[in-house]
A = this chain, B = another copy of it.
Amino acid sequence: MTDGMASTEDDAAGRAVRTMVQTDTASSLLGIEVMLLEPGHVIMGMTVLDSMLNGHGICHGGYLFLLADSAFGAACNSVAGGAAAVASSCDVTFVAPARFGDVLQAEAVERLSFGRSGLFDVTVRRADGTVVVEFRGHSRRLPSAPSGSVAAS
């Protein structure tokens, strides 16, 4: 998860999110790659592995969520300001199944920022463009940004 992150402007938010992404063991071990990392706009890719399949032989919804959540986490921390942001809540809609070998892309876009809160839309698509998941994430900036103090996702 070390490629494609050249485009964020070289400010505090950019540096913080690059460090966050590069040290994300969970995403890295799943082969999640950053395709685009700009302020408020992130694309990540993941291939469905056989270790991700559920009892119906399709990708577990948890891994679809994890991909979307990783893109959301990077996007909400990529927005200028420098204070770390955390996911407070998310809504996810499962639109279509993903199967072994599917190459998925999650695109996260900032929809709105207000006060310390943010709203981001993430769409997960298969390579043919079919939507697999629609996700909306609520983020909240922490009062200050001590490294290592950030909550879930």
A96 sits at the interface (CB 8 A): yes
Copies in the complex: 4
Given A20-B56, A66-B63, A153-B62, A88 and B93 contact (CB-CB distance below 8 Å): yes
A7 within 8 A of B: no
Extra pairs beyond A64-B153, A88-B93, A94-B152 (15, CB < 8 Å): A24-B55, A25-B52, A27-B60, A54-B153, A56-B149, A61-B87, A62-B65, A62-B67, A62-B153, A64-B152, A66-B66, A89-B91, A89-B93, A94-B151, A119-B134
26 contacting pairs across A/B (C-beta < 8 A): A20-B55, A20-B56, A25-B50, A25-B53, A26-B53, A26-B54, A26-B59, A26-B60, A58-B150, A58-B152, A60-B153, A61-B66, A61-B152, A62-B63, A62-B70, A65-B66, A65-B92, A66-B66, A87-B94, A89-B91, A89-B94, A91-B91, A91-B92, A97-B150, A112-B134, A114-B131
